[in-house]
């Protein structure tokens, strides 16, 4: 169940911690929410995973828990001091929000259609029963697909109603309506139980009284972009992490499908290590940075450019493959939003825009990609001490702070539905 971050009256300040847990590391921020004022980030920190020469999935969970422990320690040692300094008093941390992207979370979208022999009043109980049934089936399918993995037990992280229609007409809030025909698009996400227990144990060690909320990055970024670009009912979200890329298609204001492929930013470093023997991941990263700044020697710059060009071609090829898979079922949107952190988002957005993807067909508008940059959030979030806000964490903060009546009523409705679970 999601809780309101605006439980206080008047100008009372509420503080929360947000964690972004991806395939490249753990990001965190302490945020102060105050009614009528933009949220303020008073502390942010990011602990990246070390890049190994060979990717070993068995090390992922231990690496993540270690990074999360370091991050929580930084928050306790430095972040809380900044929070108290900003607020002028101690503010308890009541909420902790954790957003997971692949490979941690698994998500699906279910398009459901019900026809009733007799008119039926849509009730919270009916919606709750449908969500519970679909949730059980989803968890069973996830467990079956992970039968060869060490961790088969999963828990539901999100159960979100994306849109509904009664008797063929879209409605925001269907409860209490008489229906002969009912449609509902449901977004579900799941996390390994071992992961959830590790996160709870680490967070509650420092913040035992906090409520921990779990979210899928796919759902969070969709919700935020849907409100940042309200005129775009259909678009593509591309989230590029350290080891994976998640591509989601949004059609008519609902996530229709998400595909992940195992090629992220760290692939560039590994490819360079293969081409130049004897260098470490840190040296490879340094060489890339020097090349991008234009300070590399001509011979080395030529070598690096050759490697980078091949990496770009490999990534674009997998992105095009995902577009082919999507295009089998529906016509693709033309606008792509890219989240990748640092300066990589612009690079990948340019790659997508410059490529002629054959799935578009002759005479159709080209796909145009744009990076989701920190400045997009300047009007909605304040970053203390003049720092640049992390784009991933900014999206999560905006997700929490959405002030629209639709979002507030939706969470109230979801609370009523889940209260019967």
SS3 209: coil
And the tokens for 308? Answer: 């980078």
pLDDT at 329 over 80: no
SS3 state at 230? coil
Mapping DSSP onto H, E and C, the string for 264-316 reads CCHHHHHHHHHHCCCCCHHHHHHHHHHHHHCCCCHHHHHHHHHHHHHHHHHHH
Q: Which residues of 194-209 are buried (b: 16+ CB within 10 A; e: fewer)?
A: ebbebbeebbeebbee
The predicted structure's pLDDT at residue 221? 92
Task: Say what the pLDDT of residue 42 is.
Answer: 93
Q: What phi and psi, each to the nearest 5 degrees, are found at residue 15?
A: -120, 145
Taking each continuous run of H as one helix and of E as one strand, the counts in the chain are 11, 15
Q: Look at the alpha carbons of 156, 161, 166, 167 in this order and tell me if their dihedral is positive or negative.
A: negative
Res. 400: pLDDT tops 80: no
> What CA–CA distance (Å, rounded) separates 107 from 246?
11
* CB neighbours of residue 177 within 10 Å: 17
H or E element at residue 413: helix 405-418
- pLDDT digit string (tens) for 261-313? 888 888 888 888 888 878 887 788 788 777 767 777 788 788 888 888 888 88
Q: Give the chain's mean pLDDT.
A: 83
| 18-22, 83-87, 121-125, 289-293: range with lowest mean pLDDT | 289-293
Q: For residues 179 and 199, give the distance between their C-alpha atoms in angstroms, rounded to a whole number.
A: 42
pLDDT digits (tens, 9 = 90+) for 187-210: 999 999 999 999 999 999 999 999
pLDDT at 358 over 80: no
Cα 313 from Cα 276, distance rounded (Å):
19
Report, as an integer, the average pLDDT of 75-104.
Answer: 92
The sign one gets for the Cα dihedral 170, 175, 181, 187 is positive
**19 or 8, greater pLDDT:** 19
Percent of the chain surpassing pLDDT 70: 87
Which tokens is 350 given?
């340019």
Judged against a pLDDT cut of 80, whether residue 355 lies above it is answered with: no
Between 413 and 24, the higher pLDDT residue: 24
Residue 382 scores a pLDDT above 80: yes
pLDDT in tens, 218-254: 999 998 998 888 899 999 999 998 889 999 999 988 9
User: What local confidence, expressed as pLDDT, does residue 148 receive?
Assistant: 53
Checking if the pLDDT of 184 tops 80, the result is yes
Looking at the chain, the whole-number percentage of residues with pLDDT higher than 90 is 40
d(CA 253, CA 261): 24
What pLDDT, on a 0 to 100 scale, did the predictor assign at position 361? 56
Structure token pair of residue 9: 């009256």
Residues ≥6 apart with Cβ < 8 Å to 390: 20, 27, 29, 44, 46, 341, 374
What pLDDT is stored for residue 308 in this prediction? 83
pTM: 0.84
| Position 61 pLDDT exceeds 50 | yes
State yes or no: pLDDT of 8 exceeds 50: no
- Overall average pLDDT of the 125-138 stretch: 95
Cα-based angle 333, 261, 326 (whole degrees, multiple of 5): 30
Q: What phi and psi values does residue 234 have, to the nearest 5 degrees?
A: -135, 130
pLDDT for residue 109 = 93
User: Taking a C-beta distance cutoff of 8 angstroms, is the pair 101, 11 a contact?
Assistant: no
Judging by DSSP bridges, how do beta strands 13-21 and 254-261 pair with one another?
unpaired
For residue 154, pLDDT beyond 80: yes
What average pLDDT does this structure show over 355-376? 73
- Model pLDDT, residue 99: 94
* Three-state secondary structure call for residue 7: coil
| Per-residue DSSP letter, 150 | S
Name which of 24, 41, 21 is nearest 33 in CA terms: 41
- Cβ pair 412, 5 in contact under 8 A: no
């Amino acid at each position: 169940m999601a809780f309101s971050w605006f439980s206080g009256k008047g100008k009372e300040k509420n503080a929360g911690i947000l964690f972004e847990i991806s395939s490249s590391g753990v990001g965190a921020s302490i945020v102060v929410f105050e009614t009528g004022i933009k949220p303020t980030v008073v502390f942010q920190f990011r602990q990246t995973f070390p890049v190994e020469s060979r990717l070993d999935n068995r090390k992922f969970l231990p690496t993540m828990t270690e990074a999360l422990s370091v991050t929580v320690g930084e928050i306790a040692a430095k972040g809380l001091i900044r929070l108290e300094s900003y607020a002028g008093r101690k503010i308890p941390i009541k909420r902790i929000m954790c957003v997971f992207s692949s490979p941690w979370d698994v998500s699906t979208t279910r398009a459901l259609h019900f026809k009733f022999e007799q008119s039926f009043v849509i009730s919270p109980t009916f919606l709750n029963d449908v969500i519970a049934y679909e949730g059980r089936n989803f968890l069973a399918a996830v467990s079956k697909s992970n039968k060869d993995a060490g961790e088969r037990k999963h828990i539901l992280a999100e159960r979100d109603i994306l849109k509904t229609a009664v008797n063929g007409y879209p409605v925001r809030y269907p409860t209490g309506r008489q229906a002969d025909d009912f449609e509902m698009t449901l977004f579900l996400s799941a996390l390994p139980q071992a992961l959830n227990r590790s996160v709870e144990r680490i967070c509650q060690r420092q913040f035992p009284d906090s409520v921990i909320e779990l979210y899928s990055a796919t759902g969070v970024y969709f919700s935020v972009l849907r409100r940042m670009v309200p005129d775009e009912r259909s678009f593509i979200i591309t989230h590029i992490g350290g080891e994976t890329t998640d591509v989601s298609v949004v059609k008519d204001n609902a996530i229709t499908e998400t595909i992940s492929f195992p090629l992220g930013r760290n692939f560039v470093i590994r490819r360079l290590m293969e081409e130049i023997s004897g260098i470490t991941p840190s040296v490879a990263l340094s060489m890339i940075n020097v090349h991008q700044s234009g300070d590399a020697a001509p011979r080395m710059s030529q070598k690096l450019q050759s490697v980078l060009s091949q990496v770009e071609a490999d990534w674009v090829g997998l992105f095009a493959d995902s577009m082919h898979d999507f295009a089998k079922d529906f016509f693709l949107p033309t606008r792509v939003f890219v989240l990748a952190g640092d300066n990589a988002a612009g690079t990948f957005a340019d790659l997508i825009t410059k490529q002629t993807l054959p799935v578009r067909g002759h005479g159709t508008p080209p796909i145009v990609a744009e990076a989701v940059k920190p400045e997009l959030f300047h009007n909605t979030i304040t970053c203390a001490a003049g720092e640049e806000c992390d784009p991933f964490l900014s999206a999560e903060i905006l997700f929490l702070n959405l002030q629209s009546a639709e979002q507030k009523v939706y969470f109230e409705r979801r609370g009523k539905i889940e209260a019967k679970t």
